[in-house]
């Protein structure tokens, strides 16, 4: 049930955006037990000055192609699974598109079952 937001620098084509989405989805399926069909992604690109990513924070040298992936998901995954997810996303993007691993920022936000409605104004995961 993760909700993924992908923020890209402007100038990337639709194929790249879809490919990043695919790379993230494949990593989530492989590492944190997300069903393949459980896919909810929002992708946006930003012109210069609208996607501000520090080029050297924590000693990591980031380039102009840096991007941010935000994943909101139900809590409960282990530290090991989260670390595996980070590695898999960076590795997938590097292997498929040559994105530098240093240019991939990932932020996880966890919540509870009651925090999700998939339609009809209902909390499908919460039984009354």
Residues forming the active site = 2
3-state secondary structure of 104: strand
Exposed/middle/buried for residue 1 (C-beta within 10 Å: 0-12, 13-18, 19+):
middle
CA distance 38 to 122: 18
48 closest CA partner among 14, 10, 99 = 10
CA distance 110 to 45: 24
């Amino acid at each position: 049930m993760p909700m993924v937001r992908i923020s890209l620098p402007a100038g990337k084509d639709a194929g790249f955006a879809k490919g990043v989405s695919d790379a993230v989805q494949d990593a989530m399926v492989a590492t944190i037990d997300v069903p393949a069909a459980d896919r909810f992604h929002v992708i946006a690109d930003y012109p210069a000055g609208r996607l501000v990513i520090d080029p050297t924070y924590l000693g990591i040298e980031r380039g102009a192609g840096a991007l941010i992936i935000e994943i909101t998901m139900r809590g409960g995954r282990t530290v090991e699974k989260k670390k595996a997810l980070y590695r898999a996303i960076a590795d997938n993007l590097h292997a498929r598109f040559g994105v530098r691993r240093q240019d991939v920022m990932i932020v996880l936000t966890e919540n509870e079952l009651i925090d999700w409605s998939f339609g009809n104004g209902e909390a499908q995961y919460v039984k009354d």
